[in-house]
Amino acid sequence: MKMKYCNKCGKKIKNVETLCRKCGNNLDARRKLRSSMVKEPQTSIFKEVSEVIQIKDFTVKHGRDTILNDVDLDIKKEELVCLLGPSGTGKSTIIEAIVGRKKPTKGNIKLFGKDISDKKIFDHIGFVPQHAEVYQNQTVEQNLLSSTAKWGIKNGKAKVDSILSTIGLSQRKDLKANKLSGGQLKLLSLGMELIRETELLILDEPTTGLDPNTRDNIITILSRLVSKHNKTVFFTTHFMDDAEECDNVIILSKANIVAQGSPQKLERKLPGRGKIVKIIVDNITDDLLKKIKNIEDIEKVISEGRTIKIISEEPNAIRLGQKVDELGGIVNKTEITRATMKEVFVYHTEKPLKE
């Protein structure tokens, strides 16, 4: 087969190849021309913008069913923000509409103050879908190099090496994507967007289906984008641990936003000012739970195995422990603890957690 040489690093290249595997140089003249016209995002044009996402009167209907109803949402610059909600509440619908993949029944979306009809704004926005969109027959490194070529990134090979280190796949760079685990695919998909260094990164359930270590790695990467590189990150999740790490949490339920704020603010705003009564009971039954829920001043009862967590305006562990004992519960321990995002989620959505 006829060979040619990369005009950047001199490596021998097969004539049919359009990408140098050593340095990432784009060898196709037409693609090179297109790439040269792509400018990397300029942060200076967003200096005066305080809100990166603005959604107004966002409504989605499927037949007679209203999935989302007049949702208003603002996300500020340089924050790590997550969207929580029970399955089927429209989290992914909002994400897909923001990135231009789905049209709402009604409503307006602005990114960095510009309507999403201005397609140029997407040069500054990265998107990682729930299901990894990678080239299955390419290696990890080739997938990343393909992204540098697509977006006209300079010093492609050096950038790829840096991203491989960030996502922890340096030792897997020669492995084809179809041989990766689910978590490694998620990391690769994330890396292909990190290449671009966009001002706003949007992700749909980036930690779903992953082991705890990989989940923690991804949240750490996203958090550092905000804290060290002044980017904005917006993602959906089912995991309360993810939410605890965010600057801003948005809870979606019953077709609209039911709560929004920092984890600490949302926890303090619960009845009892963020304090809950935790009671360990040996003989939890449905009948006992029903009786406990009827105790005066109780706002919410959350059952987790042998543990009952009670949210009330006046969280008094001794009083509530005695009440449960009077109702026939065999109480082992009662204490006051601080509320977490788990209690916040159940309180606002009236849905049990599905971790």
Summarised one tens digit per residue, pLDDT across range 125-177 is: 999 999 888 999 999 999 999 999 999 998 899 999 999 999 999 999 999 99
* Cα–Cα distance list, 290 to 277, 293, 313, 328 (Å): 17, 5, 19, 12
Residue 314 pLDDT exceeds 60:
yes
157 is a domain residue: no
Residue 348 pLDDT exceeds 80:
yes
Determine the Cα–Cα distance for residues 106 and 137; give it in Å rounded to an integer.
40
At which of 231, 263, 295 does a domain end?
263
Which of 86, 40, 53, 85 is CA-nearest to residue 233? 53
Amino acid letter, residue 139: T
Identify the residue with better confidence: 275 or 10.
275
276 is a domain residue: yes
My answer on whether 225 and 333 are in the same domain is no
292 is a domain residue: yes
Q: What is the pLDDT of residue 194?
A: 96
My answer on whether 93 and 196 are in the same domain is yes
Q: What is the pLDDT of residue 29?
A: 37
My answer on whether 195 and 330 are in the same domain is no
Overall average pLDDT of the 202-230 stretch: 94
35 is a domain residue: no
At which of 263, 292, 315 does a domain end?
263
Provide the token pair at 304. Answer: 């987790």
Determine the Cα–Cα distance for residues 281 and 276; give it in Å rounded to an integer.
16
Which of 202, 197, 225, 241 is CA-nearest to residue 78? 225
- CATH code of the domain containing 282: 3.30.70.100
My answer on whether 114 and 221 are in the same domain is yes
My answer on whether 181 and 329 are in the same domain is no
Count of CB atoms situated within 10 Å of the CB of 287? 10
Percentage of the residues of the chain whose pLDDT score is greater than 90: 76
My answer on whether 181 and 328 are in the same domain is no
My answer on whether 108 and 197 are in the same domain is yes
β-pair type (65-76, 51-62): antiparallel
Percentage of the residues of the chain whose pLDDT score is greater than 70: 86
Residue 18 pLDDT exceeds 60:
no
My answer on whether 307 and 256 are in the same domain is no
My answer on whether 212 and 314 are in the same domain is no
Range of the domain at 61: 41-137+176-263
Task: Count up the domains in the chain and report the number.
Answer: 2
My answer on whether 211 and 235 are in the same domain is yes
146 is a domain residue: no
- CATH code of the domain containing 127: 3.40.50.300
Look at phi and psi of residue 113 and say left if phi exceeds 0, alpha if psi is from -120 to 50, else beta.
left
Tell me the pLDDT tens digit for each residue of 22-50. 555 555 533 333 333 333 444 555 677 88
User: Which pTM value belongs to this model?
Assistant: 0.83
Identify the residue with better confidence: 83 or 354.
83
At which of 263, 291, 324 does a domain end?
263
Q: What is the pLDDT of residue 209?
A: 87
My answer on whether 64 and 132 are in the same domain is yes
My answer on whether 329 and 242 are in the same domain is no
352 is a domain residue: no
Q: How confident is the model at residue 272 (pLDDT cuts 50, 70, 90)?
A: very high
Q: What are phi and psi of 189, to 5 degrees?
A: -60, -40
Return mean pLDDT, the chain. Answer: 87
Overall average pLDDT of the 330-343 stretch: 95
What sections of 10-131 are H helices per DSSP? Answer: 29-36, 91-98
